[in-house]
Structure 1
Amino acid sequence: MTFRSPRRLFLSTLAFAALVQFGGCATPTAGPSNALNVATQRADLSTFTQLVNQAGLNDVLTGSAPVTVFAPDNAAFKAVPASTLDKLAKDPVALKALLMHHIVAGTTDRASLKSDSTVATTMGAGKVTIAKAGDFVTVDESLVTQADLRASNGVVHVIDRVLTAPKK
């Protein structure tokens, strides 16, 4: 009996020491990713994220300033005539302007919207009308199909149409 007691004491002490030593080494749970990473994690936003990269707008969506992103899904981009997408691919200024029309400074989530419409200024200096009617939210003529994808620097909303940038 005396043999088992020191052995139990030793094993208990060893187990306790292991818990103390390795218990604090767990990787902390990460908070939400930035807006670009949130969009990149969704397969249905691959065209949007590819164009953001092409336009050099990564810093806008990964920065610390809060943003609301209205990201058109892949089906929305497929509805745009191929000739228009080809022109945008060859004109980085126009591509950047179009994408900046999908980004609003600050965080606008579904809960912050009233049951009427709000006009917001985009980072492309245009205006969009955000409207809420019951469970439905629209941005200009586009329906928000997935709202409130939380990001560390704001929120991403998936929309079903590409917003038209204002003419200059």
Structure 2
Amino acid sequence: MTADPPVDLAELYRTHHLQMVRLARLLVDDTASAEDVVQEAFLGMHRNRGALRDSRAAVGYLRQAVVNQSRSMLRRRRTVRAHLKVAEPEIAPPADSEVILAEEHQEVLRAVDQLPPRQREVLVLRYWSEMSEAEIADALGISKGTVKSQASRAMATLAKIMQGGETDGSV
């Protein structure tokens, strides 16, 4: 029986970096933070590459690391904002943002941003990353049933938001 070849991190980076940045961008809502999240995930993979037994699982490991790093970043943001003494200044969106996405897509993204974190993660992984329920459950460390219920609740909440209804965040 031959052992799997070691993970080629350079090749993994070349083939999956952009995809992981896009995933993180949808979860943390800004490109610079998304790039930091992905960088940390790759660094973690580099530090622990000896522990990765199956090189074919490297992409799944990386995706899970990106989701976990995104969660950590969002927790840190909440903590910082909770302790800020002064209000943060309004930051205008980039000038080209209107060109990049059609208004309809922007409305959907704004609605997705209003979802609770777990629901947002499930939808991003399901519809953007095109992952199966089992893959999502594995990446998020939850059961397939939880994936299904979170996706269902998220879609119901999105429909309500898109129809102009207010949500109280408890859906």
Give the TM-score of the pair, scaled to structure 2.
0.26
Q: Counting strand residues as a fraction of each chain, which structure ranks higher?
A: 1
Q: Counting helix residues as a fraction of each chain, which structure ranks higher?
A: 2
Give the TM-score of the pair, scaled to structure 1.
0.26
